[in-house]
Amino acid sequence: MKTLFITIIVLMPFGIIAQSNLSDVSIYSASNDQKFSVLLHTQFYEMGNIDVMDFRLMAVYDVFNNQIIKKVRIEMIFQNELLIAPKINEFNADEIDGMMKTVDYILKSIKRTDISSFDEIVYVCKGGFTVGAFYTPVKKKWTLFLRLIQDDPKSTLHIDADEMAYFKELLGQIKSKFDMISIKDFQ
């Protein structure tokens, strides 16, 4: 299902950085006497979820520079008795292969239970999204997790091996969808 959001941002002041929640999309004035503009068109595609963690493909077309920036947006809804608050993070399309290799390594490693030390396997994306697992010798158990924000333990989602395998499958679907997106989709 394709959900389309169009974000159009036109900026003309001196020396302002335009980011629109994207660290890769930064346009700035080379000198203080030049004006600059940026026009961004953003599309979101629902890709799937694992429990309370939703994954959306995000394609941002920089109209003036004729470039597409591809990211994955992850959102978790946190709820307590007073507040429902979403937390959002993103990772770049070029980090998918590393995460898929990490998942393979984790799924291979969790078969071992003869470990006498605390073991931890962690892949951290540039934006802080984390995929990992750790073994506790006292419990003789592996714990697998996805963490939305690296330094926020409350954003951790504990998952089982089947969900970790599904996460890899979801990454493969996202990668395939990224390969199909082109500038023609924005024109």
Sign of CA dihedral 153, 158, 164, 167: negative
Please give the radius of gyration of the chain, using alpha carbons only, rounded to the nearest integer. 19
The total of structural domains in the chain comes to: 1
- Which range marks the domain in which residue 174 is found? 2-186
pLDDT of 93 strictly over 80? yes
pTM of structure: 0.77
CA–CA gap between residue 59 and residue 41 (Å, rounded): 8
The pLDDT tens digits for 27-81 are 443 444 445 788 999 999 999 999 999 999 999 999 999 999 999 999 998 776 6
Give the integer Cα–Cα distance in Å for 155 and 128: 11
For 133, counting Cβ atoms within 10 Å of its Cβ (0-12 exposed, 13-18 middle, 19+ buried), the class is buried
Coil vs helix vs strand at 80: coil
Check: CB of residue 56 under 8 Å from CB of residue 45: yes
- Nearest-5° Cα angle at 185, 183 to 187: 75
